Each structure stands twice: as C-alpha cells, then as structure tokens.
C-alpha cells in the first residue's frame, strides 16, 4: 500500500509540473525604441522694431529761383543806385548735394548759377560753388559735448573771391533744458581759421581767426528760430578803407524767425503759408570802415528783411519731393549803414524744385 501511495504521489507531482509548462506564455520580443522629432515653433514679434543696418545715404535738391523787379524799378532806372540793388530780373539755378559716406563723415556740394533775364550780368550775381566736409568725432570723453569738424571751400565766379576754412564746432545742446514747447536743436561754439583771397596776387588777402556762437531752436505753433554771433579778428594785406590800419576785430549777428502754417493737406499734397525774417546780418567793426556816404565811414551796418510765401509740396514717392513757392521780400539793400539805413522795398520772388533722397 505504501509503495502504491508513493507511485501515485509521484505521478501527481509530474502531472502538475507538465500542466504548468503548458500554460506559460512564450517570451515576447523587446519593443523597438521610438524616437520623436519635435520642431520648435518660430515666434514673430510684429510689434518689435528692428533697426536696419546703416548704409550710405544722401539727397540731391535742384531748384530754380526767379527774382523780379524792385517795386517796378530796374537797376538802369535807379540812377542813384540806392534802390534796385542786389538781383533784379534775374534767375538762379541751385543744385545742392548731400552725401553721408559713413555714420561720421559727410560731404555737401552747393552750386549757384545766375542768369540776367533782362539787362546785363550786373543785374544778377556771380556764380558760386561751395564744398563742405564734416567729420563727427562724437562726444568728448564722458561729457555730452559733441565735436564736429568742418572743412569749407567757397569761390565766386570763375576766378572771383575765394575762401578756405577749417573749424570745429562744439555742441552743448544736450546740456540745455528742452521740452515739448521749447527744444534746443543746436547750441555751441565754433573755433577755426579762414583764408580769403581773390585773383592770383596778395591784394585783398585776409587771414581770419574766428570764434562763433551758433544755435537753432524749435518753438510751438510751427515756429522755429536761429541765432548766430560771428566774432572775427582779421589781418588784411592792404589797409582798410577809411582807416590807416591792417588789423581789425569785427563781427556779425544773424537772428531769424521762421513759421510754417499748413493750410491744406490731402494724401501726398500740402499747401502752406511760410514766413521768415530778421537781421541778415547786423555787423560791427573796430574801425570806421562802413560807407555811409560821408566819406569818413562808421562802425556798424544792418539789413532787416521779411519774406512771406505760399508753398505747395507734393511727394509722389517716399524718396521724391516736388515743391514750388511764391511771395515777396521786404528788405533794405543798398543803404545799410547804421545811421542812414533806408529804402526798404518789396521784390517779388518765386522758386520751384525737386529733391530726391537715396
């Protein structure tokens, strides 16, 4: 019996093991590794201003201006020579080119060619060319004072009066208080040296040391202003008129007021009323060298003017501007000595031009 029980028990154990092997699942293969590629979104900030890279730029302004008769009187009719001075029945073609080569260096070239529309060349003025080169040195050290040099050459006519100048302008405008009603655009001192001559000899040669004050302001209601004071010390090759001297201190004051009033504006067209006027200039001298008709001279002279105009401007594109203006100038010309200044007279004038920026 015992043997039979052992045999039955052994068979039971073997059967249980065999049943367990049948129900075990087959080993599954390892899953493949999945790699996901996620593209990062590109975000465009439409309200963020991106400063474009600096590039050379400039402009060309071509203008033709007409000068009418002085209250219907020509130079030929003005036998006393104290009324129709300056330009009468004349035209002027002016071309002004400005080029900014770098952020610090620029060049300006201005030519003026005059034509006598009636009469002779004496009714207009000498042709003129002026070249100016500027270099901006930036602020001096840690200050707010900007320094900019200027080299200038100017010549009248084919072989007329000439001038060569080298100067540096120190601008203190950032130290002057400004707000929305009063803004100082320019405020500083210019110091330099100037050489003036005519022809090919030493006659009429002048050596000049200069210390000038120059300023510009923006005012409310379309107004702006300019105030300049030029201080010179001259060494003349020849003796001064009315004075047995070759050296002299002298100066000039320029004081201008400008006003721009838009009258009509639609799309790219603007019609405006513009005004300018002031001292142009007031001069003073150490010696009595101003001709006042007495034969002895005096020390000061001045010319005061005003020029109201109606102007129209049209911009067909962002880079092209067409403009025209017409008005009349009220000024004293031939008699400017301080004690005898007179003969303020109206002279009609008009101009038209085109300015192209690049």
Q: How would DSSP label each residue in 30-98? A: PPPPP----PPPPP--TT---PPPP--EEEEEEEEEEE--BTTB-TTT-TTSSSS-S--SEEEEEEEEE
User: What are the phi and psi torsion angles at 179 (to 5°)?
Assistant: -145, -165
What's the confidence (pLDDT) of residue 47?
59
Q: How would DSSP label each residue in 172-196? A: -GGGS---SS-EEEEEEEEEEEEEE
User: Residue 211: which pLDDT band, with cuts at 50, 70 and 90?
Assistant: very high
Read off the tokens for 178. 């400004």
What's the confidence (pLDDT) of residue 119?
66
Percentage of the chain modeled with pLDDT above 70: 84
- What tens digit of pLDDT does each residue of 239-252 get? 888 888 999 999 99
- What tens digit of pLDDT does each residue of 132-183 get? 999 999 999 999 999 999 999 999 987 789 999 999 999 999 999 999 899 9
Single pTM value for the model: 0.82
> What span, in angstroms and rounded, lies between the C-alpha atoms of 3 and 314?
126
- What tens digit of pLDDT does each residue of 86-130 get? 788 899 999 999 999 999 999 999 999 999 887 666 667 889 999
């Amino acid at each position: 019996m015992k043997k039979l029980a052992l045999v039955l028990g052994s068979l039971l154990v073997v059967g249980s093991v065999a049943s367990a092997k049948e129900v075990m699942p087959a080993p599954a293969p390892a899953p493949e590794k999945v790699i996901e590629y996620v593209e990062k979104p590109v975000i465009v900030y439409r309200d963020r201003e991106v400063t474009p890279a600096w590039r050379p730029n400039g402009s060309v302004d071509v203008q033709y201006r007409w000068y009418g008769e002085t209250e219907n009187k020509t130079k030929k009719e003005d036998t006393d020579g104290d009324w129709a001075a300056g330009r009468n029945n004349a035209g002027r073609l002016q071309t002004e080119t400005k080029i900014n080569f770098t952020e610090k260096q620029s060049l300006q070239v201005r030519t003026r060619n005059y034509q006598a529309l009636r009469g002779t060349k004496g009714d207009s003025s000498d042709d003129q060319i002026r070249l100016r080169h500027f270099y901006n040195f930036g602020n001096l050290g840690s200050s707010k004072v900007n320094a900019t040099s200027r080299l200038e050459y100017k010549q009248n006519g084919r072989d007329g009066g000439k001038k060569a100048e080298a100067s540096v302008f120190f601008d203190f405008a950032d130290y002057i208080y400004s707000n929305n009603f009063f803004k100082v655009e320019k405020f500083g001192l210019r110091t330099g040296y100037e050489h003036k001559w005519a022809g090919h000899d030493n006659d009429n040669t002048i050596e000049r040391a200069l210390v000038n004050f120059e300023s510009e302001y923006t005012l409310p209601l379309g107004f702006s202003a300019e105030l300049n004071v030029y201080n010179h010390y001259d060494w003349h090759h020849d003796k001064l008129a009315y004075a047995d001297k070759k050296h002299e201190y002298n100066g000039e004051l320029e004081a201008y007021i400008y006003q721009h009033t838009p009258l009509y504006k639609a799309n790219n067209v603007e019609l405006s009323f513009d005004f300018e006027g002031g001292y142009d200039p007031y001069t003073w001298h150490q010696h009595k060298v101003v001709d006042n008709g007495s034969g002895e001279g005096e020390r000061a002279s001045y010319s005061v003017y005003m020029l109201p105009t109606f102007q129209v401007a049209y911009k067909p594109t962002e880079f092209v501007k067409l403009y025209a203006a017409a008005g009349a100038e009220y000024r004293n010309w031939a008699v400017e000595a301080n004690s005898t200044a007179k003969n303020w007279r109206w002279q009609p004038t008009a101009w038209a031009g085109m300015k192209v920026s690049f």
